[in-house]
Structure 1
Amino acid sequence: MNAFDSVVVEVADIEAAACFYSAVLGSDSPHVCLRASQDPTSGFRGFALSLVVSQPGNADAVIDAAVDAGGRVVKSASKSLWGYGGVVQAPDGTVVKVATSAKKDTVPVSRDVGELVLLLGVEDVKASKEFYAGRGLSVGKSYGSKYVEFAADPGHIKLALYKRRALAKDVGVSEEGTGSHRLVLSGAAGPFRDPDGFVWEASASAPLTATA
């Protein structure tokens, strides 16, 4: 069972958040929902959304759209050994990584996102791996205590685990943060709260649904 349907991002300003996520994912995306929240939070909230695209031009197009919709560049897009990508921060504070393993463009540029991965920064990767495996998620890739990626059914979000400090470093932010994660995961495995306080609820998918 690898049913992970959507994430609910809790935000203080629904209108600004809806503008941002519609720009980077499209208004009909079934994977991100928005919910109003004033829960105290500051700094890094322990997670990042990773948008995997097919080529560098697409990464630039998505990042440009994110900035035009109120996002802030955290790491400028650049080449690396693994490919090409950059990081932006949404108006609500969510960190969004846009990346591709391709080194050059081979088709006309678009803003299509091929895969959405939710990266959770956790205290103990091995313990969290066992926790999620015990709730029906199948491990796809595992690199000891550094990184775990769970398999995903077609059309679903992929879940991955990093050490919190390593994830913060990867996306270019300080690991310091307090208060609410302002994130709820929706899937067949819920409801529950994981060892790092991330909350799951039963599936209730809806395209960019905004609720008060």
Structure 2
Amino acid sequence: MPVQATAIMLGVSDLARAKQFYADLGGTVTQEYPGFARLDLGEGSSSLALYPWEQVAKDAGVSAEGSGFRGFSLHFIVDTSEAVDEAMRDAVAAGATVVKEATATKWGSFGYFSDPDGYLWKVASSS
């Protein structure tokens, strides 16, 4: 069976803040329990599950200590450079921090933002 990412889970420091951030970016909360929220990110996308950071570490049996680049980023591919700029503006309005301003390349444009817990998102255009 080929591997599929049917859900992306993020450990977060403040569940309510993270849930609001992703809802402000257009996600729809589909499940919510104490210590857990799941959001639908739209057709064609994996769902996004949010758990308290410490709980995720405990569940995985690893230390909750960690900082810096995690070797992981989420990517949002859009059709145009204008859509990259719009997505970056929307992210900042929701509480994101711009890590790398959107820049033009020979194939389109891209930029990076981080969510309130430092997870990196790359927004890139396909043209």
Q: Same fold (TM over 0.5)?
A: yes
User: Take 1:92 and 1:12, find their aligned partners in 2: how far apart are those partners?
Assistant: 7
RMSD across aligned C-alpha pairs, in angstroms?
A: 1.5
Moved more, 22-31 or 50-59: 22-31
The residue type equivalent to 1:7 in the other structure is I
Counterpart in 2 of 1:48? 73
1:74 aligned to which of 99, 120, 123: 99
Find out whether 1:94 has 2:110 as its counterpart: no
Note the C-alpha offset of 1:17: 1.2
Normalising to structure 2: TM-score of the pair? Answer: 0.72
Moved more, 25-34 or 78-87: 25-34
Structure 2 gap segments, 5+ residues each? 29-39, 55-63
Q: Which runs of 4+ in 1 moved over 3 A?
A: none
2:52 aligned to which of 22, 36, 46: 36
Structure 1 gap segments, 5+ residues each? 103-212
Secondary structure of the equivalent of 1:42? coil
Larger relative helix fraction: 2
User: Take 1:23 and 1:53, find their aligned partners in 2: how far apart are those partners?
Assistant: 18
Secondary structure of the equivalent of 1:45? coil
Note the C-alpha offset of 1:16: 1.6
Secondary structure of the equivalent of 1:75? strand
User: Take 2:93 and 2:7, find their aligned partners in 1: how far apart are those partners?
Assistant: 24
User: Take 2:69 and 2:6, find their aligned partners in 1: how far apart are those partners?
Assistant: 24
Q: Which structure's CA Rg is the greater one?
A: 1
